[in-house]
Structure 1
């Protein structure tokens, strides 16, 4: 339980009134519960969208839901998306890329990446029927957090200094597999309550998890070649990329799933 609470404290802005020491063992064990953290991130946004939709319509309700989605995480993963874009699109040496990614100042590439990320989420969600957009808001954050367990499993930490690497390099296949099972269970429950047929649910589970894992692993392999490994910023970027692809899936497939 302490490892789960630690990850909620670390990855969200939920006020957990418990002092938990941030240790390597707790971090590693907490990674397998990341899909639960993702569900807690998406839940308030999905509830708000559902409650506001009859009164404000799709566009305003979707906008408000995205504000909640960002607020719950404090924009932590969007910051990782922006920093990753600044570094990876500068086409400099590994050392310079890592230096740029560590800089707290957001550059042009980072701003563009953040804006496009939010814009794509808004456009996809507002064009999905209400039941589908609520389902997407519940499932996408779960899949994004599951994806980072694979992202950290298949690649080493890029920086030579001790820090986040002493935590992420300990994450391995047991945590990734457990997180995947946890994600499958959570998304299956969501699909059940949306009334999705068994065949549609199975296909959706396979496709969504397959895409999220492939994206996380592929991105990690690219980073291993480009800058020698992953960073905290690329972990955040992986979450955002996975959420966007999940939203796109629901946009393209929802009419065929129900």
Structure 2
């Protein structure tokens, strides 16, 4: 997409760019394409797009519990599988690649080389297993409170985690991840996060706010780990932030549900 001459004379279209971003991050049959430069200009809108994905996942959970009468654990697995499939397993390679890079000893250059290697090590597989199982446990936990809205909140918050990491990271170039990082600044980040916080509060009060805050904490942690290990960040780091952000959002909401 980056070097395609087809996009040389293209004019920026917000609608086309948003649909292009949705095409990029899901398997929905939208098939709207635009240049990577124009698509990433609206990176700050990514959480809003994934509200729709979260709604679809929540409907999936509702059908599983209320119509098929499956238990909360089975439903949690189905919801997680649905989220992974509809997003095309887009960020799972980032979880494994970043984990492999962090686990290896040596200078940042060596860690980056391992992270960018196409092969996957034991650290990557184990980390993906942990993130996946803990996320399923988190969905199971909120479903035990009959808090199905939490599925929507954790999905949109996952992208807030990604934006948090992008905001405080220096990009590794060349690479698609660098476009997302370069287009995330304090102004559009604050606007995006403020709107997401308002939406979460309207949906479920302080529990919703806790979910977004959890994702922001996750983004900060992943950015810090990436800076200490790689100095720079790429698409793999952003992918890890997305998946861990969903997990932290669920964790914070589970705790809030107990105390609220």
TM-score by length of 2: 0.85
| CA shift digits 1:81-119 (9 cap, x unpaired) | 111111111122212211221122221111111111111
In structure 2, stretches of 5+ residues that fail to align are: 1-14
* Cα distance in 1 for residues equivalent to 2:62 and 2:144: 7
SS at structure 1 position matched to 2:29 = coil
Give 2:222's aligned residue.
219
1:6 to 2:9 alignment: no
* Alignment of structure 1 residues 212-251 onto 2, 5 Å: 212-251=215-254
* Cα distance in 1 for residues equivalent to 2:138 and 2:175: 40
SS at structure 1 position matched to 2:71 = helix
Residues 146 and 128 (structure 1), Cα distance of their counterparts in 2 relative to 1, 3 Å cut: closer
Residues 255 and 226 (structure 1), Cα distance of their counterparts in 2 relative to 1, 3 Å cut: closer
Q: Is the 8 A contact 1:33 1:182 kept in 2?
A: no
* Cα distance in 1 for residues equivalent to 2:209 and 2:238: 22
Give 1:252's aligned residue.
255
TM-score by length of 1: 0.85
Give 1:48's aligned residue.
60
SS at structure 1 position matched to 2:154 = helix
SS at structure 2 position matched to 1:48 = helix
* Deviation of 1:206 (Å): 4.4
* Cα distance in 2 for residues equivalent to 1:148 and 1:129: 25
* Alignment of structure 1 residues 38-117 onto 2, 5 Å: 38-54=50-66, 55-117=69-131
**What is the aligned length?**
244
| CA shift digits 1:133-159 (9 cap, x unpaired) | 412211011111012222112111134
SS at structure 2 position matched to 1:146 = helix
Give 2:200's aligned residue.
187
In structure 1, stretches of 5+ residues that fail to align are: 192-200
Q: Is the 8 A contact 1:158 1:227 kept in 2?
A: no
Residues 167 and 209 (structure 1), Cα distance of their counterparts in 2 relative to 1, 3 Å cut: closer
Instruction: Say which of 4, 13, 16 aligns to 2:30.
Output: 16
Bigger relative CO (Cα 8 Å, ≥ 6 apart):
1
Q: Is the 8 A contact 2:101 2:114 kept in 1?
A: yes
Q: Is the 8 A contact 1:37 1:145 kept in 2?
A: no
Q: Is the 8 A contact 1:50 1:134 kept in 2?
A: yes
* Deviation of 1:32 (Å): 1.5
* Cα distance in 2 for residues equivalent to 1:134 and 1:104: 37
* Deviation of 1:126 (Å): 1.7
What's the Cα RMSD here? Answer: 2.1
Residues 166 and 117 (structure 1), Cα distance of their counterparts in 2 relative to 1, 3 Å cut: closer
* Cα distance in 2 for residues equivalent to 1:226 and 1:204: 33
